[in-house]
Amino acid sequence: MNIALVTCESLAQYAAPNIDDEDSLLTRHLRAHGHHVEPRIWSNPAVDWRAYDVVVLKSPWDYFDRAPEFYAWLDRMEQQQVPMLNPVATVRWNANKQYLLDMERQGIRIVPTHWLPRGTAFQAEALFAALGTDRLVVKPAISGGAKNTFNLTPADAEARTPELTDLLRAEDFLAQPFLPEIQTQGEWSLVYLGGEYSHCVLKTPKSGDFRVQHYLGGGIQPQQPPTHLRRTADDIAQRFAQNCLYARVDGVEVAGEFLLMELELIEPFLYLDTAAPESFARYEAALRASRV
């Protein structure tokens, strides 16, 4: 296949010594199996996306900093009927974390989430009471990489209320209770390729932190998920990631139950080399199947 592997202008800020360059490793594997692969920056207006058999979203990691531009690009891809994986409609839905509330309405257990609409004031006391917690996590509705993500005690929240109210002038946010299980147990990431379970890692934050991203010092350990967690993640992938080349289901176990934190369908790191070398073969097989 003639493949455009979609990336962004710079991946440098996500580089870390404890992780390999997944884009390069994947490109090398696909080329070794006869595919013509070209990295292409999604925001480059000179790219003719119709020239490719398939356009694969891999690492457009700056989309949340350029959301209106990204949505306009998705519209053009749809209008031009460019074959894109994951599908445009799914990507558009997944780009805004309001999808979590949509999934909750359809019976999925998510981390309890309170929506903070753009233009409203940040009201810390009401949020602590509504969520029944003494620590809040607050983050933008369109975000990634822990950008503008706050972990707040009541005293922190009071001190940062002006800053958060100012941020709310520009965009929607959401608030969730801080889950200590992330620090004590870790966050599960289950990866699906072509709709089938492929592999799983357990991510843990560095000491004193709550963010599990590898480029922020988080740890990554290949791990087989317990059966009850796998069953829930399978259901999520089957129901909400239909016709997707890849999906990553992120969650945390609380009181023996899997609570969804994110369903990653746009630009997730897939831990292809970290988890198991055969993951690359499964990715390539899923890509071939998507074109049948």
User: What percent of the chain has pLDDT above 90?
Assistant: 83
Using CA atoms in the order 228, 230, 248, 181, what is the torsion angle rounded to 10 degrees? 30
Beta bridge partners of 190: 200, 249
Q: How many CB atoms lie within 10 A of CB 247?
A: 28
Helix (H) or strand (E) holding 25: helix 22-32
Separation of CA 64 from chain center: 11
**pLDDT tens string 148-158:** 899 999 999 99
Mean pLDDT of the chain: 91
- Burial of residue 44, with CB atoms counted within 10 A of its CB: 0-12 exposed, 13-18 middle, 19 or more buried: exposed
Question: Distance between CA 292 and CA 276 in Å, rounded?
Answer: 26
pLDDT at residue 4 tops 70: yes
Contact 41, 9 (CB under 8 A): yes
**pLDDT tens string 14-55:** 555 444 589 999 999 999 999 999 999 999 999 999 999 999
Domains in the chain: ranges and CATH? 2-94 (3.40.50.20), 99-109+181-290 (3.30.470.20), 114-177 (3.30.1490.20)
Secondary structure letter of residue 135 according to DSSP: S
Whole-number pLDDT of residue 144: 79
Whole-number pLDDT of residue 184: 86
**pLDDT tens string 107-124:** 999 999 999 999 999 999
54-59 sheet: strands from edge to edge: 36-41, 2-7, 54-59, 84-85
Per-residue confidence at 220, pLDDT binned at 50, 70, 90? confident
Listed range (45-59, 201-215, 256-270) with the worst mean pLDDT: 201-215
**pLDDT tens string 53-112:** 999 999 999 999 999 999 999 999 999 999 999 999 999 999 999 999 999 999 999 999
3-state secondary structure 220-272: EEECCCCHHHHHHHHHHHHHHCCCCCEEEEEEEEECCEEEEEEEECCCCCCCH
End-to-end CA distance of the chain: 12
Q: Name the residue with higher pLDDT: 89 or 209.
A: 89
Contact 113, 100 (CB under 8 A): yes
CA angle at residue 252 from 86 to 94, to 5 degrees? 25
Which of 197, 194, 239 is closest to 102 using CA atoms? Answer: 239
Which of 32, 50, 54, 91 is closest to 240 using CA atoms? Answer: 91
